[in-house]
Amino acid sequence: MGSFVIAMGAAPHMKLSQGGRTFSAVDTPLAFDSHDAAYDYLLRHAEEEPLKGVRGEILEDLSL
């Protein structure tokens, strides 16, 4: 079973980095154990940078 990550909707290769401060295609992504945990994070931080104004998508990342 993979982990779940939050990706930028307009550019799904850009994932929220481990520190939660930026989206990156090369940094280690912030990984969640479940879709629900990623969704909760997305809801709690939707009005903060870098998620503010971005359509975040939750994806299962089988590479993690």
pLDDT for the residue 25:
96
pTM score, two decimals?
0.92
Any idea where the domains of the chain sit in the sequence? 3-55
Q: Is pLDDT of 64 > 90? A: no
Q: Is pLDDT of 2 > 80? A: no
**Contact present, 5 and 58 (Cβ < 8 Å):** yes
pLDDT for the residue 1:
62
pLDDT band of residue 16 (cuts 50, 70, 90) is very high
What type of residue sits at position 1? M
pLDDT digits (tens, 9 = 90+) for 22-56: 999 999 999 999 999 999 999 999 999 999 999 99
